[in-house]
Structure 1
Amino acid sequence: MSVVMITIATLVVLGATAAVILYAAAQKFKVYEDPRIDQVEAVLPAANCGGCGFPGCRAFAEALVKADDISTLLCPVGGAAVMAQAAGILGKEAAATAPMVAVVRCNGNCDVRPKTNNYDGASSCAIAASLYGGDTGCSFGCLGLGDCVDACQFDAMYMDEKTGLPVIIEDKCVACGACVKACPKIIIQLRKKGPKSRRIFVSCVNKDKGGVARKACEVACIGCGKCEKVCPHGAITITNNLAYIDDEKCKLCRKCVEVCPTNAIHEINFPPRKEKTTEEKTEEAPAN
């Protein structure tokens, strides 16, 4: 037998032996993956935004497959429709969830919250917040440097040059929560979108006492308690000089909006109010 044939035969034997060893090792150490993971991932929106609490849609799909109860899991981008599809694949029941949207809980624009100094540093809210309280008398308000806008993957936010505040584009917001995490002042919150996209919330997070808060910002919540007293549904609480409206309890009656002396309570997407007649105003006037 020639040297060439011996070499070829040796290589064939070595190759076959190596293949057998690799196959045996692959079988011994292979990790079983539930095929339903691929099916669930296919119905997810592939946003990989992390709003579900997992690093990506694949990880979320794995969590859904492994969980015995998926009622506490939610894809904010896909919402109830996507969760229903995933539940159908897994033979599990998804909890009914209300659509959410981000809201900016700061109304301190340049006209009502005058600057007391100028910031000259890196254009980052996170950096600015670590250095000082802000360039106005309110240390709780928006810094206006746009970390939230940079964090949004869906172009659902922009900075308003006139007000210096971020604006939410409701139709594009998927409630992923990226802007909430990016804001060092914690002024952005995810709230129920509400019927007909109507909602009411206190657009302020200032916890200073009334006089101090009002001096720093004309539209700050002063914790007067008028909204809490007038609410017939127990949806409003005053904690640390700040009013908060529970969107689970709020029935959108708007009584709190009418009595707020600083216009700190916002009503979104409501029709214009009807002007009251002289008789109605007389009936509402307090008796002497």
Structure 2
Amino acid sequence: MSELVTLLVQAGAILGGLGLAVGVMLVVASKKFKVETNPLVDEIVEVLPGANCGACGYAGCADFAERVVNEGAPINGCPVGGFDVAKEIGGILGQEVAEGEEQYPFVRCNGGLNCVDRFEYVGFEDCKAVMMLSDGEKGCNYGCMGRGTCVRACPFDALSIGEDRLPHVNKNLCTSCGLCIASCPNDILVFAKESEKVHVLCMSHDKGKAVKESCTVGCIGCKICEKNCPEEAITVTKFLAEIDQDKCTACGICVEKCPQNTIAIR
């Protein structure tokens, strides 16, 4: 019995000694290989929203903060935090930041139920999945599939698919992170400034006859809007009207003249 006790004591002493040695080694290693971090990085991380959504183009909030301090990344690069966060970062770094105009994702398609379906799709509710089948079920290859890929991409629940089978943006929840825009396989979602009121709700470059066969509200490239715009703010290129927002005064003439109701004031 005494021999067993002696062995246990010896084993405990050996293990204790090993534990102490390893502990000392870890302390020495932590001091020797310690990576010094700039305290400014920690300060910036504190003011960031912490969404880690990657909308800034970096791996997360901490990575963005490091890039700002160490690589000169733009201090207004966090779309979720917006101007308020950019201003706080500027205060930390002693830089001024100009306030930009707010912009939100805008759906450049009014097809939805106005666009014919070429076939009935039964499968996973995802726009990219639908487009793997002959470029989608819609008669228009440029239009919104309405399967909610953008909705699922939004970490802030700011999008929803309406009864018109089109995505709708809740500006009260939207942070303009741009993840919905990046997720859209047809590039239907684009950023639009609050001051930009007149929009062409179509992305099709098909000829007029083909557009009319597939969608009742698609642009047919008739150039009526271009000819009637007093500010010469509209040009039709490849059968699609485009508005120069710098010239547009939102007079509404193009909206009234458009035979397809493709142009709208929003």
Return the TM-score normalized by structure 2.
0.85
Residue 50 (structure 1) aligns with: 54
- Does the C-alpha gap of structure 1 residues 248 and 178 become closer, same or farther in structure 2, counting only changes over 3 Å? farther
Change over 3 Å in CA distance of 1:248–1:26 after alignment to 2: farther
Q: Structure 2, unaligned stretches of length 5 or more?
A: 1-5
Residue 105 in 1 paired to residue 103 in 2? no
Output the CA distance in 2 between the equivalents of 1:155 and 1:4: 61
**Aligned mates of 1:225, 1:214 — CA distance in 2:** 15
**Offset from partner CA, 1:223-249 (integer Å, 9 cap, x none):** 233333444555434332212234455
8 Å CA contact retained: 2:130, 2:137: no
Amino acid at match of 1:152: C
AA of the residue aligned to 1:39:
E
**Paired AA for residue 218 in structure 1:** T
- Runs of 5+ unmatched residues, structure 1: 269-288
Which residue pairs with 2:33 in the alignment? 29
- Please say if residues 225 and 258 of structure 2, whose CA atoms lie closer than 8 Å, have aligned partners that are also in contact: yes
In structure 2, distance between residues paired with 1:204 and 1:213:
10
For 1:156 and 1:76, locate their aligned partners in 2 and report how far apart those are by CA, in whole Å.
Answer: 14
* In structure 1, C-alpha distance between the alignment counterparts of 2:232 and 2:55, rounded to whole Å: 30
Matched-pair contact (CA < 8 Å) for 1:219–1:264: yes
| Residues 52-96 of structure 1 deviation map (CA, whole Å, 9 limit, x = unaligned) | 22232222222222233626x422122111111111111223343
Amino acid in the other structure paired with 1:178: L
User: How much has 1:14 moved relative to structure 2?
Assistant: 5.3
Matches within 5 A, 1:94-173: 94-110=97-113, 112-161=114-163, 163-173=164-174
Q: Aligned-pair RMSD on alpha carbons?
A: 2.7
**Per the alignment, do residues 19 and 203 of structure 1 end up closer, same or farther by CA in structure 2, a change over 3 Å counting?**
same
Q: Are 1:226 and 2:230 matched, yes or no? A: no
Residue aligning to 1:39: 43
* Whole-angstrom CA distance in 2 between matches of 1:219 and 1:80: 37
1:93 corresponds in structure 2 to 96
The DSSP-based 3-state class of the residue aligned with 2:213 is: helix
**Residue 282 of structure 1: aligned partner:** none
**1:1-288 alignment to 2 at 5 Å?**
17-68=21-72, 70=74, 73-110=76-113, 112-161=114-163, 163-194=164-195, 199-231=197-229, 235-268=233-266
Q: Report if the CA contact (8 A) 1:102-1:177 is conserved.
A: yes
- Contact kept, 8 Å, 1:191 with 1:247, in 2: the verdict is no
Identity rate, percent: 41
Secondary structure of 2:198's partner?
strand
Tell me the TM-score normalised to structure 1 length. 0.79
Aligned pairs, how many? 261
Shift of residue 106, structure 1, vs aligned partner = 0.9
